[in-house]
Amino acid sequence: MKFNWKIVCTGFAAAFLLTACGTDNTDQKEAQTDEPEQVVDGTNGNSTDGTSTPDAGAGSANDGNEESATDMTDAVLTESDAQSYAMEVLPGFTLTSEEPGRDSLYADENPEAFMRIETQPAEDGAYDYFTDNMQEVLKASSNGAEPEELTDVYTDLEDKGIKNAKAFKVDTETGPVTGVVFEKDGMVVRLTLFDNPDEEYKSAFLSMGQTIQ
């Protein structure tokens, strides 16, 4: 019987191709296992290899809320020692009486930043007196500068009992001074805010001020 070299060569070629394909598949599997698997957790945008993927909604919650109200969750209802009102006071602030009819709510870390609080019964002339006198006080604080009227303080708060709110502001050498007058619960309330140049405490003072009752 003759030895068929053609069949032998064909068999060797087929075996070589199978071996090459097996080697190539093995190399591809090893290459895939060398790369870390990244599975994104849909709940928080973090991948399992410790890297983070951007959250499409991040940063959008506070858009347009440059002066959002201060969280009052930890505030404590505190009664004035000298006047007939109580208010919610946040940790880090102290309410104290200056003199009859005048209290101060100051920041513990910076006592120069404070809010003066004055109240009177809502009788004839009390609101007008507080409003007119407030503007004179602001002028005196700024060496005669005309106070700027603010239209974004205590607006649309009738559901909280605040009505007829008026606010004015002047700039001084030590920082802005803001005056607010409003009516609530049978009282006329005047708040005078003495803040630092960055108005760091304005939001907290106003949030506490609107709780006066």
Q: What is the pLDDT of residue 100?
A: 86
Half-sphere exposure of residue 95: CA atoms within 13 angstroms, side-chain side: 24
Q: What is the sign, positive or negative, of the torsion defined by CA atoms of 79, 80, 82, 84?
A: negative
Give the three-class secondary structure for 72.
Answer: coil
Q: What is the pLDDT of residue 35?
A: 47
CATH for 76-209 is: 3.40.1000
Q: What is the pLDDT of residue 24?
A: 46
Judge whether 183 and 213 are in contact, CB under 8 Å.
no
Residue 147's region, left for phi above 0, alpha for psi from -120 to 50, else beta, is beta
Chunk the chain into consecutive blocks of 10 residues (it has 213) and report each block's average pLDDT, rounded to whole numbers: 40 40 44 44 41 35 44 96 96 94 96 97 94 95 93 92 97 96 97 96 97 97
Specify the pLDDT at position 29.
42
Say if residues 184 and 212 touch (Cβ distance below 8 Å).
Answer: yes
**Res 68: pLDDT:** 54
**Nearest-angstrom CA–CA distance, 210 and 69:** 11
